[in-house]
Amino acid sequence: MQGGLFNSVVRALQQLELADTYGESCIPLAILNVAYPLVPDEITRFCASKRSVLIVEEGQPAFLEQAIESILRKGDIQTVVFGKDVLPMAGEYVAEVLQKGIATFLENNAPGITADRGGGIVARIDDLKSSASTQLGAPVPPRPPTFCTGCPERPVFTAIKFVQRELGNVHIAADIGCHTFSTLAPFNLGNSVLGYGLGLASSAAVDPPMKRRTLSIMGDGGFWHKGPFPAVSRVLCSTGQIRFLSS
Ligand code: SF4
């Protein structure tokens, strides 16, 4: 599985009574915290003793699934590889989605492990959802992505809203990261979004004709990727000033 999916996979296995809350799983797990390049020996060592494996990989194309198939076939290992045939091609792999996929995989490949171990939890979730939608009479509005509760970035963006109320709007160049949630309601901050530190470069470009100082927001990932370069060029090549604010 992709390393980032570990928590959701363990939660799904836990609901199926195949793992505990500490991540101890009855099903052997290979967790790829580095998904590229794959280490063929690591893959073949894990798969060689298994009749079938399920690749848990978000997104499309299924790069891991294809690469693992290729490694196994070249190594003449006949382990059957499942992936997008039991898990959705697109969409977020939340625990409920994973429960269904893992349950289907187990039903087809491990008859000794009944997928109903969780007391038919997959069917119960479906029943609950359909009963809730009948009672509500209308689809539940989707929950937009937003900051975690208690995120320290919230007060920063709230402060920016207050400052704009007093000073008027300023040009805000956003970058990619959790802080990009500030471009959504209720903050609606940000005139442009560029990734990997380029937000700061773009704000340097639009700064000269602006009446007010422009603002650029980036997280630590963007900063360490490329942030220092536009910061330096901004100081050298424009009248812009740099102030760093850390949350
Ligand atoms: S920075 Fe991101 S992950 Fe951290 S608390 Fe805020 S929204 Fe959550």
Residue 214 placed within a domain: yes
Atom index in ligand 1 nearest the CA of residue 181 equals: 7
Residue 60 placed within a domain: yes
pLDDT, residue 141, reads 79
Q: Is the CB of 132 under 6 A from ligand 1?
A: no
Q: How far is the CA of 51 from the centre of ligand 1 (A)?
A: 40
> Are residues 167 and 127 located together in one domain of the fold?
no
pLDDT, residue 8, reads 94
pLDDT, residue 119, reads 60
pLDDT, residue 199, reads 83
For 35-87, how does the pLDDT look when each residue is reduced to its tens digit (9 = 90+)?
Answer: 889 999 999 999 999 999 999 999 999 999 999 999 999 999 999 999 999 99
* Secondary structure (DSSP) of the chain: -BGGGHHHHHHHHHHTTSB-TTS-BSS----BSS-SS--HHHHHHHHTT-SEEE----SSS-HHHHHHHHHHHHTT--PEEESTTTS-SSS---HHHHHHHHHHHHHHH-TTS-GGGGTSHHHHHHHHHHHHHHHHSSPPPPPPP-PPTT-THHHHHHHHHHHHHHH----EEE-SSGGGGGGSTTT---SEE-STTHHHHHHHHHSTT-SS--EE---HHHHHHTTHHHHHHHHHHSS--------
> Are residues 27 and 57 located together in one domain of the fold?
yes
> Are residues 76 and 187 located together in one domain of the fold?
no
pLDDT, residue 27, reads 93
> Are residues 29 and 124 located together in one domain of the fold?
yes
Q: Is the CB of 148 under 6 A from ligand 1?
A: yes
pLDDT, residue 227, reads 75
> Are residues 207 and 87 located together in one domain of the fold?
no
pLDDT, residue 239, reads 54
Going by alpha carbons, the residue nearest to atom 1 of ligand 1 is 178
> Are residues 233 and 170 located together in one domain of the fold?
yes
Going by alpha carbons, the residue nearest to atom 2 of ligand 1 is 178
> Are residues 105 and 157 located together in one domain of the fold?
no
Q: Is the CB of 180 under 6 A from ligand 1?
A: no
> Are residues 130 and 9 located together in one domain of the fold?
yes
**Alpha-carbon torsion (63, 30, 4, 224), positive or negative:** negative
- Structure ipTM: 0.97
> Are residues 74 and 125 located together in one domain of the fold?
yes
Low-confidence ranges of the chain (pLDDT < 70): 114-119, 230-247
> Are residues 108 and 188 located together in one domain of the fold?
no
Q: How far is the CA of 72 from the centre of ligand 1 (A)?
A: 38
Q: Residue 193 is part of which domain span?
A: 153-237
Residue 148 placed within a domain: no
Task: Give the CATH number for residue 77.
Answer: 3.40.50
Which of 178, 179, 180, 220 gets mutated to test ligand 1 (max ligand atoms within 8 A of its CB)? 178
> Are residues 181 and 75 located together in one domain of the fold?
no
